[in-house]
Structure 1
Amino acid sequence: MKLMKSAVSKPTKIRSHSVRSAPFIPRSVLIGASVYQSNITGQTARGDAVQSSSVGDEKQEVHRSGSNMSNDVRYCERFSYVFLKFTVIVYATIFWLIGGFILAIGIYAEVERQRYKTLEGVFLAPAIILIVLGVVMFIVSFIGVLASLRDNLMLLKVFLYTLTVCLILELLGGILALAFRHQTVDLLNKNIRKGVVNYYDDLDFKNIMDFVQRKFKCCGGQEYKDWEVNMYHNCTAPGPLACGVPYTCCLENKPNEVTNTLCGYKVLDKERLALQNVIYIRGCTDAVFIWFMDNYKIMAGLLLGILFPQASSAAHSQRAVRSTFPDYPRPCCHRTHQHISRPHASCMPCPSVDP
């Protein structure tokens, strides 16, 4: 029994001794652990400092890049503004001078024409056409010059809308003239006959008619018999011009040959076939239209030269309005200004597009 008690009591003492007494740790081990912990803490602090420094550098780089981009945007906008303004000024100034020159010629021609004026209508008066064209070009171009120099929104809009209206009217006039070609030809022949009646009294029409008959090798408006309406060329009239046509209707003379001004004597009472070797029997209206069809490339280039400057100036004026005045409404502004973080307050929002 004593042995059993002693055996049981020994482990109890060992357990109580192991629980109450702490293990012995050398001092060198504790110092090493503290040094290691301090090294770990220092490395973590240095890592945090490096990371915060890199983040700050990235922010500064983004700020610098944003500033450079903003400067580039402002430079591009300034260059675009100067270019558009210079283009509109040059265009308007050139056409302003041309309009003034045409107006001066028209006024001078009209003053000279008043001495011999006998026509009641103004359709056949080239001076009136030049005056109207010169006035329109002079006023519209002057508005464009003044609007560009002063950066005036109202004048720029007037210049833009006037050019647009003129361009639309020219296109509509050409389309209507082609669509109603027969009516246009009849109207032209009717007015040519009115001019033939006063051929010797209106110097402007006489010069134009003589030039057309020589250039296009034709006679009269619709045909050579249109000259019967003139009181000097009518077959019932007295004098050497009766029943004849002007000498510009005659076939071309040989080089260095004296022009016979009475070559068209007594031709209106003869058959057409008998006159083929004497005068031009084709009317000038058909001759001019045939020339236009044969030289369609030249006419297309001329038409493009007339319409393209107007369309280009209208487009430049529209861009100048929006460049000069940022408050002018612009649709879908945030799409055209993707480099700007926030679009202008005047920009109109784009409609949402469903994917």
Structure 2
Amino acid sequence: MAVEGGMKCVKFLVFIFNFIFWVCGVALIAIGVYAQVALDKALVVSAASAAGTPVAILVLGVLIFFISFFGCCGAWKESYCMVTTFAVLLSIIFLAEIAAAIAGYVFKDKVRSVLEEGLWDAMRKYGEDEPLTEVVDELQRDFHCCGANNYTDWATIERFRANDTVPRSCCRVDTASCNVRPSPATVYEKGCLQSIEAWMKKNILIVAAVALGIAFFEILGIIFACCLMKGIRSGYEVM
């Protein structure tokens, strides 16, 4: 009876932790959507690889969402096959998260260079590509920035160097001549690269905290799932 009671407790814990995984999946989906919306302008002017990051978070959230539902069914029905599949899939996701974290740390400087390259490319095409021009203007207004590194970057673009101007989206106060002979008094001094990086560093702590919490619960879920697998395989009744 002691073993049976213990397995009942494990079954209950597996069910509870799967509910927590379900909540974590919803949280990741929300973070993915938020990142996609918040960084939409920056992602447009950067490479496709950078644009895929919020999508990857969203996909991971969807996977955890469905796997947790699968685990709940396995625990409730006491299915050895379903619980085993759940434990294997959760282990794979956990390992993939570790690999992604390592890759993110190793290639963090690459992300900066890709974003900077995208900003410069967008600046060179400013006025020629209308959708891209609108994105740059919105990016500069939203992040209160001008150019890639600072407002003087626009002086390297022929059409702006000739007139000693910058886009009006750089202006602190939008007036008819605010973008002529730009200075820190009339236009945003900081570059968009710096502003976007500051925004990302400010919000990365939230993502890291959520990721650590999810990883902790994943480990516990794998342990409890293995215990339940052992109990089911041993032929004990776990109601």
Residue number in structure 2 paired with 1:312: 216
Using a 3 Å threshold, how does the CA distance of structure 1 residues 170 and 208 change in structure 2: closer, same or farther? farther
Cα drift, residue 171 of structure 1: 3.8
Amino acid at match of 2:29: G
Q: 1:159/1:280 Cα in 2 relative to 1: closer, same or farther (>3 Å)?
A: same
Q: Which residue of 2 aligns with 1:280?
A: 188
Query: Is 1:79 matched up with 2:1?
Result: no
Q: Which has the larger radius of gyration?
A: 1
Task: Choose from 259, 264, 268 the match for 2:179.
Answer: 264
For 1:141 and 1:187, locate their aligned partners in 2 and report how far apart those are by CA, in whole Å. Answer: 32
Query: Per the alignment, in what secondary structure is the counterpart of residue 62 of structure 2?
Result: helix
SS of the equivalent of 1:222 reads coil
The alpha-carbon distance between structure 1 residues 93 and 186, as it changes in their structure 2 partners (threshold 3 A), is closer
1:147 paired with 2:106, answer no
Structure 2 CA distance for partners of 1:306 and 1:208, relative to 1, 3 Å: farther
Alignment coverage as a number of residue pairs: 219
**Structure 1 residue 90 corresponds to structure 2 residue 20:** yes
1:89 Cα offset (Å): 2.6
Q: Is the 8 A contact 2:14 2:72 kept in 1?
A: no
How far off is 1:264 after superposition? 1.3
Matching of residues 120-269 of structure 1 within 5 Å: 121-123=47-49, 129-151=53-75, 152=82, 153-177=84-108, 181=109, 184-198=111-125, 200-202=130-132, 203-204=134-135, 206-212=137-143, 214=144, 218-228=145-155, 233-236=159-162, 243-251=164-172, 253=173, 259-260=174-175, 262-267=177-182
Deviation at 1:278, TM superposition (A): 2.3
Question: Percent identical across equivalent pairs?
Answer: 11
Q: Distance in 1 between matches of 2:55 and 2:111?
A: 23
Task: Quote how far apart the aligned CAs of 1:266 are.
Answer: 3.9
Structural mapping, 1:35-74, within 5 Å: 70-71=1-2, 74=4
The answer to whether the Cα contact below 8 Å between 1:123 and 1:191 also exists between their aligned partners in 2 is: no
Is contact 1:224–1:281 with CA below 8 Å preserved after alignment? yes
Residue 261 and residue 89 in structure 1: after superposition, are their counterparts in 2 closer, same or farther (change >3 A)? farther
Deviation at 1:291, TM superposition (A): 7.1
Partner AA of 2:62 in structure 1 = F
SS in 2 for 1:264: coil
Q: Which has the higher contact order (CA 8 A, sep 6+)?
A: 2
Change (3 A) 1:175 1:244: same
Give the letter aligned to residue 249 of structure 1. Answer: C
Q: Relative to structure 1, is the Cα distance of residues 310 and 194 closer, same or farther in structure 2, using a 3 angstrom cutoff?
A: farther
Separation of aligned partners in 2, 1:287 and 1:106: 17
Determine if contact 2:50/2:111 at 8 Å carries over to the other structure.
no
**Matches of 2:57 and 2:177, distance apart in 1:** 38
Structural RMSD (CA): 4.1
The answer to whether the Cα contact below 8 Å between 1:88 and 1:144 also exists between their aligned partners in 2 is yes
1:66-116 CA-partner distances (Å, limit 9, x unpaired): xxxx53x5434422331232222332255248638957x979xx9xx9xxx
Q: 2:30, 2:197 → 1: CA distance?
A: 31
